[in-house]
A and B are shown apart, each in its own frame.
Chain A
């Protein structure tokens, strides 16, 4: 039987349909679950999509992170079920402390982009490099592999007030993707690092590797037709799965075990 992923929708989120489409195209079942009646326990995994949960009042993701739903989601995560947060979902996961998840409380936040070209919201294609240790999402990535992927956010700069946290994450292999240039060089300056994130972090996992928070949008780099300057031989080719789809395929494989 296929595993079923709940795409958890909080008011203001807006990437739920394509997130569900990606889960299905990667060979899983998926349902959009409303925040106020989600029966979490019946699902095999969870996805928090992008958008503006509760208008991102106060700070991106923080209001949703206080929702009672997370009491049970934390239990499910503790039991090893996969939880993937994309963009606003990533911001929410950071605010809950599910990532980096070394301590029970929030250790990181997503600050406003530091971007000399466009201030505020910025939508563009970037490159990220896979650098993480094995987890639920990277079974099909080689170390150092580079992906094309879009970002679309105003607050994507991973920061932490905790001294030594970034070094610890590096050491633990919890930093899964980093912004890089075409040759894989991790350069801190714009445009390679599009938002000024500490240690060029694009995605970070919890120590167990079943929770992943990623700022770029793998569901928008999933099919070939979504990529920039592609050449497509026929419509079948347009629907070819691209490297970012492997995040979802890895989630599927993880759930088989």
Chain B
């Protein structure tokens, strides 16, 4: 392998113990045998810079070393998939408009570890990174969604849990709002499995013309092209972020871990986005071949090496040309720090001056943000080596393919010993109190106090805002009738009991949610959040989760074909585990993107008029395992909802058909809290200002409380009486018999002769629970 001038770390001359000590002292989380593998791979002892590079590239976060072989199980292809999971974000075909084909770019990431340690910055930079992933495909970033999981707000870590929850929400608002990316969906769950490891996932959407995609790789024949980095001046922040994301969090290391979290700058990002859009315009107009990539995990090193490696080239980079805001940084920090708000361009030298002018002069980076600019730092080389020089010395000289290939592990897995049992709870003594308690549970209660802190409407494209329906809806191309819907889902307690069904149900629920507004599921993304993959029981949950996702996406296929709904992007986050070995609930968080051809047909969940019929699709089953009702009784339970895929997909087809014919007035999916919550939320509406109640009856052949609180999937539909027959016909055409629940009207929610709750009481319970949890 190539020669270097920098000092070599004599791995070959050290004992295993000495190697271990050296790695630990230098904050390198590689295992001893991995360090020895590097020697073998590059044919000599490595430099310290090279060790740091492999440390990042071989981290779980960057290499998917445990997960990749299993991720192959997921369906990722489809006739509408423009780009599957291979670059920074996936792209699905959306619609044709004025002779152009448009795609939606979608990315799904986690920023769990940083958010646990420094919640405001962690959550903010999580959005920042995900937005860059979408932007760098050449897209206009149009929406985001935030699935959040926090600890028990009444548990033994209550104070820290509330602090983290409120700071994460502040961070999302503090970053996403100034950027001008509206939040259109999200969910929040609290339970004690997240006490020491919160989950902060982000989904971001963008839109582009299919012909305008910019790839995250060097263009063909790009030997000699310039490598240009733009954005914030490099400092030491976020150094080791990728490796940090692949560690178990130890409370005692909290202080030292803070340095691994990046520092967000939404103002600079706002300007960078607009400047970058100007560059896109310019390269399209002049047909300039370029490569463009976000700088995230692994910083300059990862971004530049992957850009050239994926096109079969190499790179020669002078780290002294990197614009920095701290002096005397060692080369591995300049190369690998994860300073936020940066990108890498590869462009022909003839275009370089124009590129620099857009950032440095037109958008005046030099004057509006201290130290920010665009700088040429190197060149694309024909030889496939990755050369880094620093102060006249070569500090890295290795085969670029070796750097980017990563490593793979086959992890062992075995089912956990833990067995769950079903409790024997009798009928509630006071039905009305039971209903109000469920409505006030923080996992059910209105999250308005959270999402009203977010800008849900900037860009003027929002059709349905968070809270008003099961999915957020946008008109991404004003003037075009097609719209998109987005939902994110995964019930953590169900997944705790059974990781397979937790994941499969998450796919089903996310599809139900986009169907409930009238959109047809188009594609999925996933973020797989689990504990330590080196533990066979934790890894078993991951394997089960992937299998559940795969099975559900295959079974809940597109209408009229057998084609699975594809996963177009995703992310894996392991080591969500405390130092005492407590892992988070298995969380295969799924996002579903739906399309509606005529967005004027969308409906919300709020009851529209008195005197309409209420129907239910999806019979109630004895499946209270993981339910809110059990949670309120301190129980977990065992009988979880298991999606019956055939009826699940038929319900989805029937609901979207009925909405397409404008036959439903409102629609709500049945999930957390059960059908009683679906009914109460339809009465209240997202703003909790509804004034139309309902009279409903359930057959009491089986216990009423189980029917009300079971969380088996389904829908509640509001239908005008005159359309009832037609709606029933559509459902029976798909093999689904609708259950008539009752009619809308009156000032209360009345159920059999057991429950008669005035709307005001429903409102009080539903609007207080989340605020109380956060207080």
Contact = CB atoms under 8 A, between A and B. Distances in A.
Given A21-B478, A51-B180, A122-B452, A14 B599 contact: no
A51 B456 contact: no
Contacts of B177: 52, 121, 152
Nearest to B474: A225
SS class, residues of chain B in contact with chain A: loop
A122 B177 CA distance: 10
Contacts of A14: 178-180, 270, 458
B730 interface: no
Contacts of B96: none
A168 interface: no
A51 B459 contact: no
A234 interface: yes
A21 B458 CA distance: 13
Interface stretch (B56-64, B361-369, B611-619, B642-650): B361-369
Interface in B419-465: 449, 452-463, 465
A237 B600 contact: yes
B173 interface: yes
A237 B599 CA distance: 11
Interface in A145-170: 150, 152
Contacts of A228: 465, 468, 687
Contact of B481 (A36, A118, A220, A235): A235
Contacts of B608: 231
B335 interface: no
Contacts of B173: 120-121
A21 B457 CA distance: 15
A180 interface: no
Contacts of B601: 232
A229 B460 contact: no
B481 A121 contact: no
Interface in B600-632: 600-601, 604, 606, 608
B267 interface: yes
15 contacts: A11-B267, A11-B364, A12-B267, A22-B460, A52-B177, A118-B453, A120-B173, A123-B454, A125-B687, A152-B458, A217-B457, A223-B478, A225-B600, A233-B600, A234-B600
Given A222-B460, A225-B463, A52 B178 contact: yes
B475 interface: yes
A235 to B, nearest CB: 4
B457 to A, nearest CB: 5
Interface in B702-729: none
B271 interface: yes
A122 to B, nearest CB: 6
Contacts, number: 116
Contacts of A122: 452-453
Interface residues of A, number: 45
A239 B170 CA distance: 34
Nearest to B181: A14
Interface string B672-716: 000000000000010100000000000000000000000000000
B178 A12 contact: yes
Nearest to B450: A118
Contacts of B461: 18
B187 interface: no
B452 A11 contact: no
B460 A220 contact: yes
Interface of A: 9, 11-15, 17-18, 21-22, 34, 36-37, 50-52, 54-55, 117-118, 120-125, 150, 152, 217, 219-220, 222-223, 225-226, 228-229, 231-235, 237-239
Contacts of B271: 11-12
Question: Which of B271, B368, B457, B463 has the most A CB atoms < 10 Å from its CB?
Answer: B457
A98 to B, nearest CB: 23
B598 interface: yes
A-B pairs with the 5 shortest C-beta distances? A14-B180, A18-B460, A232-B600, A235-B481, A55-B267
Contact of A226 (B178, B179, B460, B685): B460
Contacts of B687: 125, 228
Nearest to B170: A120
A218 to B, nearest CB: 10
A145 B774 CA distance: 39
A225 B599 contact: yes
Given A152-B455, A229-B468, 18 more contacts: A11-B364, A12-B270, A14-B178, A14-B180, A34-B362, A36-B362, A54-B368, A118-B449, A118-B453, A122-B453, A125-B687, A217-B457, A226-B463, A231-B608, A234-B598, A237-B600, A238-B475, A238-B600
Contacts of A229: 468, 604, 606, 685
A229 B479 CA distance: 20
B457 A220 contact: yes
B364 A36 contact: yes
A20 to B, nearest CB: 10
A235 B475 CA distance: 11
A151 to B, nearest CB: 10
A24 to B, nearest CB: 10
B744 to A, nearest CB: 15
A11 B363 contact: yes
Q: Classify chain B: how many residues form its interface, as a range.
A: 35 or more
Contacts of A220: 457-458, 460, 462
B453 A55 contact: no
A219 B178 CA distance: 17
Nearest to B173: A121
Among A9, A220, A235, chain B packs the most CB atoms within 10 A around the CB of A235
Contacts of B456: 123
A150 B599 contact: no
B348 to A, nearest CB: 26
Given A118-B453, A229-B604, A21 B460 contact: yes
A238 B600 CA distance: 6
A54 B362 CA distance: 16
Contacts of B468: 228-229
A231 B459 CA distance: 22
B462 to A, nearest CB: 7
A55 B178 contact: yes
Given A34-B362, A36-B364, A51-B178, A121 B459 contact: no
A54 B178 CA distance: 10
Q: For B179, B364, B453, B598, which residue has the most chain A Cβ atoms within 10 angstroms?
A: B453
A52 B268 CA distance: 11
A69 to B, nearest CB: 13
A210 B462 CA distance: 30
Contacts of B598: 234-235
Nearest to B140: A17
Nearest to B690: A229
Contacts of A21: 460, 478
Nearest to B686: A228
A39 B459 CA distance: 25
B478 A15 contact: no
A123 B457 contact: yes
A235 B600 contact: yes
B267 A150 contact: no
Contacts of A50: 458
A253 to B, nearest CB: 23
Contacts of A150: 457
A63 to B, nearest CB: 10
A247 to B, nearest CB: 14
A124 B452 CA distance: 6
A54 B687 CA distance: 33
Nearest to B465: A228
A227 to B, nearest CB: 9
Contacts of A124: 452
